[in-house]
Amino acid sequence: MPGIKSLTLTWLLLVMTLPVSHAAGPQDLPISDQAPGVAADSAAAETTVRLLQDSILQNKPAIPWSLTFGKIFWTIVVILASILIIRYFTRLLEAIAERWAHLRLLIKRFIPIFRVLTWTFVIFVIIEGIIQPPIATLLAFTASAGIALGFASQDILKNVFGGIMILLDRPFQVGDKIQVGDFYGEVVQIGLRTVRVVTPDDSLVSIPNGEIMNQSVSNSNSGESNCQVVAEFYFPADIDLVKARKIAYRAAAVSQYVYLNKPIAVRFKNEIHEGRSLLKMRLKAYVLDLRYEFAFRSEMTEIVIREFLKAGLITPEQMATAKEN
């Protein structure tokens, strides 16, 4: 029985180490000469097992790779150089976009794509050209890093995937006027972590991509340089509607910011405030450049109020009453 057990163990080891034994050559592992003796002698089987173990240790594949100081140094150099290059070209593209107004939105929409493609290329150069890890090491490191990042950086990864989805789905682009929650303004940057919006009071707001993906987003211009601007007014219910409509239409049409290729509309609606009937007038027109949105609304409001007072359609006392309501 001991001899049979030893023989079984020997053949299992032979099958498991067959490629290694073939690479080592028949002179290192005289298996064909010893196999008949093993079946009869347990001591010969143990000797064969030891020889197999020694052969496995001698022929164990070595990984010819190490992370040296030179590789770390050049990795840092490439990363720093990439940061400077990306910043330089980003500012150059933004300057070109501001200089050529008709191409501003198109160029600014290319900037986020340029950043993502550049960093992807940089990571490939670092891994393939500098570090050059074996595929087994790379897969093991990627799996370990993925598990660690998955548990430690769930919010960051959610924002990163949100940024990628925004770039692919494109609910809005750089240069669009959007409303996200309580924030409204022009999109100036779409990053992998946040979207940056400039509000009407010139504040720069960074909104995490994960929050944007989980709520409704209103887009005012949808990729065009013009957008609709609405000015609202409250007047007494007995005002002359014909004159009011003509004055309001003219107030929008003569503005320096108006975009006349799209229609101007004047709409009236009766509303009740504190038991009083008031007429709500909405003046809708398109601004030629969305950056002049608030200047256009202010100018329309000033012209309408001035012309209404001049035409006697309202009095200062009525305006004060309308403002209070």
Q: What is the pLDDT of residues 124-179, one digit of tens each?
A: 888 888 887 777 766 776 776 666 666 656 677 778 888 888 888 888 888 888 88
**Percent of the chain having pLDDT more than 70?**
72
- Name the band, by pLDDT with cuts 50, 70 and 90, for residue 9: very low
Cα torsion 210, 215, 220, 222: sign: positive
Q: What is the pLDDT of residues 166-193, one digit of tens each?
A: 888 888 888 888 888 888 888 888 887 8
State the pLDDT at residue 148.
64
| Same-domain status, 279 and 312 | yes
Give the end of a domain, one of 58, 79, 102: 58
Instruction: Evaluate whether residue 314 is within a structural domain.
Output: yes
Instruction: Evaluate whether residue 205 is within a structural domain.
Output: no
State the pLDDT at residue 300.
93
Rounded to 5°, the CA angle 82-86-90 comes to 175
State the pLDDT at residue 277.
82
State the pLDDT at residue 21.
40
* Beta-carbon contacts of residue 197 (< 8 Å; ≥ 6 apart): 178, 180, 183, 184, 185, 186, 187, 188, 204, 205, 207
Q: Higher-confidence residue: 47 or 15?
A: 47
Most confident range (mean pLDDT) of 37-51, 57-71, 294-308, 310-324 is 294-308
| Same-domain status, 232 and 297 | yes
| Same-domain status, 14 and 76 | no
Q: What is the pLDDT of residues 246-260, one digit of tens each?
A: 999 999 999 999 999
Q: What strands lie across the sheet with 276-287, from one edge to the other?
A: 227-236, 276-287, 265-273
Instruction: Evaluate whether residue 200 is within a structural domain.
Output: no
Instruction: Evaluate whether residue 188 is within a structural domain.
Output: no
* Beta-carbon contacts of residue 23 (< 8 Å; ≥ 6 apart): 59
| Same-domain status, 49 and 74 | no
Q: Which domain holds residue 285?
A: 227-324
| Same-domain status, 140 and 119 | yes
38-47, 116-125, 236-245, 282-291: segment of lowest average pLDDT: 38-47
Query: Looking at the DSSP assignment, which residues form a beta bridge with residue 324?
Result: none
Most confident range (mean pLDDT) of 187-201, 262-276, 291-305 is 291-305
Most confident range (mean pLDDT) of 54-58, 110-114, 294-298 is 294-298
| Same-domain status, 317 and 232 | yes
Query: Looking at the DSSP assignment, which residues form a beta bridge with residue 282?
Result: 232, 267
State the pLDDT at residue 243.
92
CATH of the domain at 264: 3.30.70.100
C-alpha–C-alpha distance, residues 254 and 249, integer Å: 9
State the pLDDT at residue 62.
53
| Same-domain status, 232 and 320 | yes
C-alpha–C-alpha distance, residues 210 and 163, integer Å: 8
| Same-domain status, 30 and 74 | no
Instruction: Evaluate whether residue 207 is within a structural domain.
Output: no
41-45, 126-130, 200-204, 237-241: segment of lowest average pLDDT: 41-45
Q: What is the pLDDT of residues 36-93, one digit of tens each?
A: 544 445 666 677 667 766 665 565 555 555 678 888 888 899 999 999 998 898 888 8
| Same-domain status, 238 and 278 | yes
Report the DSSP pairing between strands 265-273 and 227-236. Answer: unpaired
Instruction: Evaluate whether residue 209 is within a structural domain.
Output: no
Q: Tell me: pLDDT of 29 over 70.
A: no
pTM listed for this prediction: 0.53
| Same-domain status, 303 and 237 | yes
The backbone torsions φ and ψ at residue 268, rounded to the nearest 5 degrees and listed phi first, read -115, 145
Count of domains in the chain?
3
Instruction: Evaluate whether residue 279 is within a structural domain.
Output: yes
The backbone torsions φ and ψ at residue 169, rounded to the nearest 5 degrees and listed phi first, read -80, -30
| Same-domain status, 110 and 143 | yes
Give the end of a domain, one of 152, 171, 189: 152
Instruction: Evaluate whether residue 103 is within a structural domain.
Output: yes
The backbone torsions φ and ψ at residue 213, rounded to the nearest 5 degrees and listed phi first, read -70, -20
| Same-domain status, 46 and 112 | no
Q: Tell me: pLDDT of 240 over 50.
A: yes
CB atoms within 10 A of CB 148: 10
